[in-house]
C-alpha cells in the first residue's frame, strides 16, 4: 500500500485550515482531490468501517472541511453530525454452554450457537440423525432425508452442504442445500432443536452474514464443530448423539453511524442534495471479495474515497460562489452504505431540511477509475425526471464518454431518495477487479478523471439551479443491472429493506411492471408469507423465492400498516 509522507494531523491542519475569499471562485484540481483521498484512504483510518474509530476519524475530517468553508451545520441539534442507530453485530452472551453425551464442550472452539438460534435452554434425550436434512418438493425429485423418521419435539442432527452429485446425478440440490432451507424444513416438520455438523471434506467455518438481516427462530440452533466431535470420539460423518443439554444466548449489539451534513442557503429554500458515502469495509466484512488468510485493511480509495473527495471539492466550489445560487445546496457524507444504506435511509426518512422542497439528489459513488472504463462516466437515474433526460440527450463532451441509464434504483445511496419519490442522478465510473479488496488503494486512482466527473456534476447543478420548470419525479422501469437473479429462476421485483428489524421482508421500493407491482405490492409492505413458506427475514425470502418457477402463481401475504393483505403474484 502506498504510504503518505504526511501525517493525518498535519493534513487536517493544512486542508481544513484553508479559507477562500468569496470574490474568488474555487477551482477543483487533481492535487486537491488527491489530498482528500490520501487522508480518507490512509491506513490509520483502518478502512472507515461503520461504528469503528476510523469512521469517526473520517467524519471529523469531513466536518472540519465543512466548518472551514463555513457551511451551515444541518445535522442533529445544529451540529454537522446526524446520528443513526444500527445493529452492528450479534455477540455470544455469557450463558452459552453445551454438554453432549455427558461431555462438556468449549464455546467457539468445539461448538457455536448460530445467529439464527433462539436464546433458550434445552435438554434433549434424543437427537435424530437426518443426514443432509433435505426434503425435496415432488416436482424436483424423490429425495427425502426425513422419510420414516419421527422428529416431533426432538432435536435433529444435520450435515451442512449437499450430497455428492456423482452419487445423485439426476438430482439438483441447489435450492435445498442452504442453511436457511434446512432450518425451515426442520422447524416445519416439528423439530425442537437443530445441531449442524460439517462434512469431513468441507470447511468447518460459517460464512459471515449481516446481523441486522436475521430474525432468530424459536428453537436452539448450534454448529457442532469438528474439534468437538473429535473430543467426543465420534464419527465425523455420522456421529451418534444420545443426549444434548445446554443453553444458547445471543445478544444484539447496537452502535451509531454518523452522517456529516453541511448546507449552503440559496435565494430559495428549495434544495439540491449532493451526497456520497464515506464508509468502507474496515479490515474486511461479509461483503469483502478478498480471499487471503491474513486480515488486511480495505482502504476503499475508489469506494468511496473518490466520491467523498468530490463532494468536499464541490462544497468548496459552491461555497466560493454561494451568492450566485438560486436554490440551496445540501452536502451530505453518508455512513453505513456498505451495511445496507444505513445513513442515506435514515436521512431520507429524517431530513433536517424541508423534505417537500427537495428538488433532486445527486449521488457520487466510485468515480475514481474513469481512464480504465470502456463506458467512461455512467450516469444512472436520467429517467427519474423528464428534464434530466432532455438535458443529457442534448449534452456532449469532447473529452468524456458519457453513458446514460434511465433506471433510478441501484445498490447505492440514491436509492433511498428514489424510494422517497425524489429525482436522482448517480455518477459512477464502473466496477473493477479491486472492488471490495485491499488493493482498492490510492495508487490506482485517476485524479484527473475525478476532476472531469466533478465538472460534469457542476454543469448539471448549474443548469438545474437556473432551471425554473418543475422537476417531477418519474418511476423507472427495471434496467438490466437490476435483473441479477443469480440462482433464482424468477423475480419478484422489489427492493428489500436490508436494515428492517421486524418480522418479515419489508419492501423499500417496488419496481414498475414487475410481478410484485402487477399484484398490487406497495412501498413499505412487509412480506410475511409466500405460498406455504413463512417469511421471517430476508434469508427466508430468498430461500422461498428459489422454490418458484416462471409462470407459477403464488398467494403472498403482506402486512400493510398493520393490516393483512393477500396478493396473487404471477412470477416471471
pLDDT (tens place) for every residue of the chain, 572 residues total: 333 333 344 344 434 444 444 468 999 999 999 999 999 999 999 999 999 999 999 999 999 999 999 999 999 999 999 999 999 999 999 999 999 999 999 999 999 999 999 999 999 999 999 999 999 988 888 899 999 999 999 999 999 999 988 888 888 898 999 999 999 999 999 999 999 999 999 999 998 777 767 899 999 999 999 999 999 999 999 999 999 999 999 999 999 999 999 999 999 989 999 999 999 999 998 899 999 989 999 999 999 999 999 999 999 999 999 999 999 999 999 999 999 999 999 999 999 999 999 999 999 999 999 988 788 999 999 999 999 999 999 998 998 999 999 999 999 999 999 999 999 999 999 999 999 999 999 999 999 999 999 999 999 999 999 999 999 999 998 654 444 445 678 999 999 998 888 999 999 989 999 999 999 999 999 999 999 999 999 999 999 999 999 999 999 999 999 999 999 999 99
What total number of domains does the chain contain?
3
The string of DSSP letters for 114-178 reads: -TT--SEEEEES-EEE-TT--B--GGG-S-BTTTT---TTSEEEEESS---TTT-TT---TTT-S
- 373 phi and psi angles, rounded to 5 deg: -100, 130
Same domain for 440 and 499, yes or no, is no
Alpha carbon distance 8, 263 (integer Å): 25
Same domain for 462 and 489, yes or no, is no
Alpha carbon distance 349, 284 (integer Å): 29
Alpha carbon distance 537, 357 (integer Å): 35
Same domain for 422 and 393, yes or no, is yes
Residue 149 lies inside a defined structural domain of this protein: yes
What's the confidence (pLDDT) of residue 479? Answer: 52
Residue 12 lies inside a defined structural domain of this protein: yes
Nearest to 127, CA basis, from 248, 226, 246, 249: 246
Residue 478 lies inside a defined structural domain of this protein: no
What's the confidence (pLDDT) of residue 140? Answer: 84
b/e 446-462 (16+ beta carbons within 10 angstroms → b): bbebbbbbbebbbebbe
In sequence order, what are the residues at sequence separation of 6 or more whose Cβ sits closer than 8 angstroms to the Cβ of residue 176?
134, 135, 136, 140, 162, 182, 185
pTM: predicted TM-score of the whole model, two decimal places: 0.89
In sequence order, what are the residues at sequence separation of 6 or more whose Cβ sits closer than 8 angstroms to the Cβ of residue 93?
119, 249, 250, 251
Same domain for 40 and 99, yes or no, is no
Phi-psi group of 517: left, alpha or beta (phi > 0 → left; psi -120 to 50 → alpha; rest → beta): alpha
Residue 417 lies inside a defined structural domain of this protein: yes
| 226, 248, 270 - which closes a domain | 248
Same domain for 301 and 442, yes or no, is yes
Question: Can you state the angle between helices 30-40 and 307-319, rounded to 10 degrees?
Answer: 130
| Coil/strand/helix, residue 279 | coil
| 248, 279, 313 - which closes a domain | 248
What's the confidence (pLDDT) of residue 3? Answer: 34
Question: Which CATH number fits the domain that encloses residue 186?
Answer: 3.50.30.30
In sequence order, what are the residues at sequence separation of 6 or more whose Cβ sits closer than 8 angstroms to the Cβ of residue 460?
362, 391, 425
Same domain for 305 and 409, yes or no, is yes
Residue pair 93/119 in contact (Cβ under 8 Å)? The answer is yes
Same domain for 507 and 565, yes or no, is yes
Residue 476 lies inside a defined structural domain of this protein: no
Place of cell 488493493: 439
- Rg (C-alpha) for the chain, rounded Å, is 26
Question: Which CATH number fits the domain that encloses residue 505?
Answer: 2.30.42.10
Place of cell 477562500: 20
Same domain for 434 and 509, yes or no, is no
Is the link from the previous residue into 304 a cis peptide, with omega within 30 of 0? Answer: yes
Question: Which CATH number fits the domain that encloses residue 273?
Answer: 3.40.630.10
Range of the domain at 504: 485-570
| 248, 277, 301 - which closes a domain | 248
Which grid coordinates are listed for 296?
A: 488486511
Same domain for 70 and 200, yes or no, is no
Same domain for 72 and 120, yes or no, is no
CB atoms near residue 486 (< 10 Å): 6
Residue 2 lies inside a defined structural domain of this protein: no
Residue pair 72/264 in contact (Cβ under 8 Å)? The answer is yes
What's the confidence (pLDDT) of residue 269? Answer: 86
The string of DSSP letters for 523-558 reads: TT-EEEEETTEE--SHHHHHHHHTT--TT-EEEEEE
Nearest to 174, CA basis, from 143, 204, 211, 151: 143
Residue 3 lies inside a defined structural domain of this protein: no
Same domain for 31 and 153, yes or no, is no
Same domain for 503 and 441, yes or no, is no
The string of DSSP letters for 405-465 reads: E-----SSTHHHHHTTT--EEEEE----TTTTSTT--GGG--HHHHHHHHHHHHHHHHHHH
In sequence order, what are the residues at sequence separation of 6 or more whose Cβ sits closer than 8 angstroms to the Cβ of residue 16?
61, 64, 65, 67, 68
Residue 367 lies inside a defined structural domain of this protein: yes
Which grid coordinates are listed for 456?
A: 460534469
Amino acid at each position: 500500500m502506498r504510504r503518505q509522507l504526511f501525517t493525518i494531523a498535519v493534513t487536517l491542519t493544512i486542508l481544513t485550515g484553508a479559507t477562500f475569499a468569496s470574490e474568488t471562485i474555487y477551482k477543483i484540481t487533481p492535487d486537491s482531490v488527491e489530498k482528500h483521498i490520501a487522508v480518507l484512504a490512509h491506513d490509520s483510518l483502518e478502512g472507515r468501517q461503520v461504528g469503528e474509530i476510523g469512521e469517526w476519524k473520517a467524519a471529523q475530517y469531513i466536518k472540519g472541511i465543512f466548518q472551514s468553508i463555513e457551511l451551515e451545520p444541518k445535522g442533529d441539534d445544529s451540529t454537522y453530525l446526524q446520528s443513526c442507530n444500527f445493529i452492528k453485530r450479534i455477540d455470544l452472551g455469557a450463558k452459552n454452554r453445551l454438554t453432549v453425551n455427558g461431555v462438556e464442550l468449549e464455546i467457539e472452539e468445539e461448538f457455536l450457537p448460530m445467529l439464527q438460534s433462539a436464546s433458550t435452554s434445552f435438554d434433549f434425550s434424543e437427537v435424530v440423525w437426518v443426514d443432509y436434512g433435505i426434503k425435496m418438493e415432488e416436482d424436483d425429485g424423490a429425495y427425502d432425508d426425513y422419510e420414516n423418521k419421527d422428529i416431533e419435539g426432538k432435536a435433529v442432527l444435520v450435515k451442512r452442504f449437499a450430497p455428492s452429485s456423482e452419487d445423485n446425478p439426476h438430482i439438483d440440490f441447489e435450492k435445498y442445500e442452504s442453511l436457511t432451507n434446512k432450518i425451515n424444513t426442520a422447524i416445519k416438520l416439528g423439530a425442537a432443536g437443530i445441531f449442524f455438523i460439517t462434512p469431513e471434506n468441507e470447511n468447518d467455518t460459517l460464512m459471515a452474514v449481516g446481523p441486522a438481516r436475521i430474525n432468530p427462530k424459536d428453537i436452539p440452533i448450534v454448529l457442532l464443530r469438528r474439534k468437538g466431535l473429535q473430543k467426543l470420539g465420534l464419527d465425523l460423518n455420522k456421529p451418534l448423539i444420545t443426549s444434548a443439554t445446554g443453553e444458547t444466548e445471543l445478544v444484539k449489539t447496537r452502535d451509531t453511524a454518523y452522517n456529516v451534513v453541511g448546507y449552503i442557503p440559496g435565494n430559495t429554500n428549495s434544495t439540491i442534495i449532493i451526497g456520497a458515502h464515506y464508509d468502507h469495509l474496515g479490515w474486511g466484512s461479509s461483503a469483502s471479495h478478498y480471499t487471503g488468510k491474513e486480515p488486511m485493511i480495505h482502504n476503499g480509495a475508489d469506494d468511496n474515497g473518490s466520491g467523498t473527495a468530490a463532494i468536499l471539492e464541490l462544497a468548496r466550489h459552491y461555497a466560493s460562489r454561494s451568492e450566485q445560487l438560486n436554490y440551496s445546496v445540501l452536502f451530505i457524507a453518508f455512513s453505513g452504505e456498505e451495511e445496507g444504506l444505513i445513513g442515506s435511509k435514515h436521512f431520507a426518512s429524517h431530513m433536517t431540511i424541508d423534505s417537500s422542497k427537495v428538488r433532486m439528489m445527486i449521488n457520487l459513488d466510485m468515480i475514481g477509475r474513469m481512464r480504465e472504463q470502456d463506458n467512461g462516466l455512467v450516469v444512472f437515474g436520467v429517467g427519474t425526471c423528464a428534464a434530466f433526460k432532455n438535458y443529457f440527450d442534448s449534452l456532449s463532451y469532447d473529452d468524456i464518454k458519457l453513458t446514460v441509464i434511465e433506471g433510478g434504483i441501484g445498490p447505492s445511496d440514491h436509492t433511498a431518495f428514489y424510494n422517497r419519490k425524489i429525482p436522482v442522478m448517480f455518477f459512477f465510473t464502473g466496477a473493477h477487479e479491486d472492488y471490495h479488496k485491499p488493493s482498492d488503494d490510492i495508487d490506482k486512482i485517476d485524479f484527473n478523471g475525478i476532476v472531469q466527473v466533478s465538472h460534469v456534476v457542476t454543469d448539471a447543478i448549474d443548469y438545474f439551479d437556473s432551471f425554473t420548470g418543475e422537476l417531477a419525479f418519474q418511476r423507472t422501469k427495471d434496467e438490466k443491472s437490476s435483473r441479477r437473479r443469480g440462482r433464482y429462476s424468477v423475480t419478484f421485483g422489489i427492493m428489500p429493506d436490508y436494515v428492517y428489524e421486524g418480522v418479515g421482508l419489508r419492501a423499500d421500493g417496488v419496481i414498475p411492471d414487475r410481478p410484485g407491482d402487477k399484484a398490487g405490492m406497495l412501498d413499505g409492505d412487509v412480506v410475511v408469507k409466500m405460498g406455504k413458506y413463512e417469511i421471517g427475514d430476508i434469508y427466508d425470502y430468498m430461500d422461498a423465492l428459489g422454490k418458484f418457477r416462471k409462470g407459477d402463481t403464488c398467494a403472498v401475504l403482506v402486512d400493510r400498516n398493520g393490516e393483512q393483505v393477500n396478493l396473487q403474484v404471477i412470477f416471471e
